[in-house]
Amino acid sequence: MVGVKNKQVVLKEYVSGLPKESNFQLVEGSIELKVPEGSNQILLKNLYLSCDPYQRIMMSKTDVSKFGAYTLGAPIHGYGVAKVVESGHPDYKKGDLVWGYVIWEEYSLVPSTQIHFKIENTDVPLSYYTGILGMPGMTAYAGFYEIGSPKKEDRVFISAASGAVGQLVGQFAKHLGCYVVGSAGSKEKVDLLKNKLGFDEAFNYKEEPDLDAALKRYFPEGIDLYFENVGGKTLDAVLLNMRIHGRIPVCGMISQYNLDRPEGITNLAQIILRRIRMQGFSVHDHYHLYPKFLEFILPLIKQGKMIYVEDVVEGLENGPAALVGLYTGRNFGKQVVVIARE
């Protein structure tokens, strides 16, 4: 058996309010590059890690997500891309590239059930499997097409529109022939939405003292489909601006994750008055659509008809700063941490 050093990012203390880099610690352990005989586990060399807003929920002592709270003193986990070093499962062999649920460390021994898909197409950047070709891409696809029931010429609003999911939803909507407006938190992100990603309009929500008035400015006839990533005051204002029979796929509520007491919503009666369909969803219920999704998205990427913006940092030691930056909007596009490039 060969033992090697194995750097890990561990949770040092549970988080209250905004996460800080000091909540995490880089430690050095060791791991044997061997799969236990008779097991169906997979030994992975982790290559790319995905930083995602839902991870904030798991940093709290009481976690309501399906993944379970992070354990103090143990490595955190999330989505990533990895290479198989050794396999105890017949579906995987040494050298296979995979994406799924991995651990924030250099090498991981994981159950085969944590691997979602083998990566067959490698003529696109591998990092894309943390984003446009991974969980965020599937989230955007399922949320927009399956939950949102979009129609040509729909009026579509997307919050957190420059993020990993929002930037895709906006482009999907434009390809369908919708009018698309996004909100983001800086002038640079607004410029990205309008000038690079093809949104019809975009605005900086931090510069809008009255979100209701802002939405009426961009949607004088109301909103048909709102892709919800933010919650709180944005959702409250949107409810006043939905059209009859509007749809709201609820993907996330990042404005609420760092609050000890979530904000109340005062305009819920609009759901009744406007006959709005508002539905939460989890990407895990839609992974059976992944082959169909790849058939849809890969040609668009290769033809240059889909643009994907990544914010890439190098080194596991920079992972905590990258993850924490999500919650202050420091990232510009999909946040990715590179551990190794194969």
pLDDT digits (tens, 9 = 90+) for 63-105: 555 567 899 999 999 999 999 999 999 999 999 999 999 999 9
With a threshold of 0.85, does the pTM exceed it? yes
pLDDT at 10: 97
The percent of residues above 90 in pLDDT, for the chain, comes to 87
pLDDT at 158: 98
Q: How confident is the model at residue 260 (pLDDT cuts 50, 70, 90)?
A: confident
Average of per-residue pLDDT across 144-165:
97
Residue 327 pLDDT exceeds 80: yes
Residue 2 pLDDT exceeds 80: no
pLDDT at 66: 58
Residue 155 pLDDT exceeds 70: yes
3-state secondary structure the chain: CCEEEEEEEEECCCCCCCCCHHHEEEEEEEEECCCCCCCCEEEEEEEEEECCCCHHHHCCCCCCCCCCCCCECCECEEEEEEEEEEECCCCCCCCCEEEEEEECECEEEEEHHHEEEECCCCCCCHHHHHCCCCHHHHHHHHHHHHHCCCCCCCEEEECCCCCCCHHHHHHHHHHHCCEEEEEECCHHHHHHHHHCCCCCEEEEHHHCCCHHHHHHHHCCCCEEEEEECCCHHHHHHHHCCEEEEEEEEECCCHHHCCCCCCCCCCCCHHHHHCCCEEEECCHHHCHHHHHHHHHHHHHHHHCCCCCCCEEEEECHHHHHHHHHHHHHCCCCCEEEEECCCC
Q: What is the mean pLDDT of the chain?
A: 94
Average of per-residue pLDDT across 54-60:
92
Is 179 in contact with 222 (CB distance < 8 Å)?
Answer: no
pLDDT in tens, 197-240: 999 999 999 999 999 999 999 999 999 999 999 999 999 999 99
Residue 319 pLDDT exceeds 60: yes
